[in-house]
Amino acid sequence: MPSSHLTARASGLVRCPTCALVSGTRDGLLCPRCSSSVQRRKPDSLQRTWALTLSAGILYVPANIYPIMTVIKMGSGEPKTIVAGVMALIEANMWPLALIVFIASVIVPLGKIIILLYLLISVQIGLKTHLKERMILYRLMETFGHWSMVDIFLVTMLATLVKTGSWATIEPGMGVTFFGTVVILTLLAARAFDPRLVWDSAHGHL
């Protein structure tokens, strides 16, 4: 029986990232069951997660400054940023929808960047507390991370539907590209982060 805190790495074993087979294969060699390359930990996890998270944080600024769409009514245009889109829903008294869009397009991307920074820093300083709580944050980020894409899908639909009408036109703006890039970078950052490092660092094995 494995002792209560024995990890695969401490036992000289490795879990295949693809098929989950636990074997004694050495790092960089192939899993005996599915032939994927196995690694005890995701390679360069911290460096890659830092790079992707910081890039996402920087691009978050233009993503919110540039309009994601311009609604042109009777010849006059109204550029709208992501936050303005949420405000418009609140003004129209569509509270439940405003809340969903606010969560998906503001809370989720910002929350992801903050959670990633917290996880990275806590691992690097070897924080020994809140291990389970940090895993919950990690899982939240994994589960809800892709919901911010809703803005990108929304703009493509609105621009297609309202394009030739004499009453209004909706033009997509630069913000779409920036925001889409932020969402993809945060998704890649979450995947680059190896949650096992949280436990390694708390036990002084980093």
Partner 1 sequence: MFRGSSSPLLPNPSGLVACHECDLLHRLPTRKAGSVLSCRRCGAVLLQNRPDSIPRTAALTLGAFILFAVVNGFPLLILKIGGRETSLTLIEGALELGNHGMWEVVIVVLLTSLVFPALHFLVLLYVLLPLTLGRVPPGAITGFKMADMVAPWGMIGVYLLGVLVAVVKLADLATVVPGVAAYALGGVLVLGTAAGRALDHEMVWNRIGKSVSCHLLT
Report the alpha-carbon distance of residue 177 to residue 192 in Å, rounded: 22
Q: Residue 199: what residue type?
A: W
Tell me the closest approach of the beta carbon of residue 39 to partner 1, in angstroms.
12
Of the candidates 151, 60, 158, 164, the one whose C-alpha atom is nearest the C-alpha of residue 109 is 60
Hey, which bits of 26-181 come out as E strands?
Answer: 69-73, 76-80, 168-172
Question: For partner 1, which is the closer residue by CB, 54 or 103?
Answer: 103
Binding mask 154-183 for partner 1 (x = CB under 8 A): xxxxxxxxxxxx-xx--xx---xx--x---
Tell me the closest approach of the beta carbon of residue 71 to partner 1, in angstroms.
9
Question: For partner 1, which is the closer residue by CB, 113 or 187?
Answer: 187
Residue 109: CB atoms within 10 A of its CB come to 25
Tell me the closest approach of the beta carbon of residue 33 to partner 1, in angstroms.
4
User: Which residues between 20 and 39 bind partner 1 (CB under 8 A)?
Assistant: 20-25, 32-36
Q: How far apart are the first and last CA of the chain?
A: 26
Q: List CB contacts of 17: < 8 A, sequence separation 6 or more.
A: 36, 38, 39, 42
Exposed, middle or buried by CB within 10 Å (0-12, 13-18, 19+), for 101?
Answer: buried
Given candidates 46, 59, 119, 152, which one binds partner 1 under the rule CB under 8 A? 152
Question: For partner 1, which is the closer residue by CB, 32 or 47?
Answer: 32
| Residue 61 touching partner 1 (CB under 8 A) | no
User: Which residues between 94 and 113 bind partner 1 (CB under 8 A)?
Assistant: 94, 97, 100-101, 104
**Residues touching partner 1: how many (CB under 8 A)?**
72
User: Which residues between 72 and 91 bind partner 1 (CB under 8 A)?
Assistant: 88-89
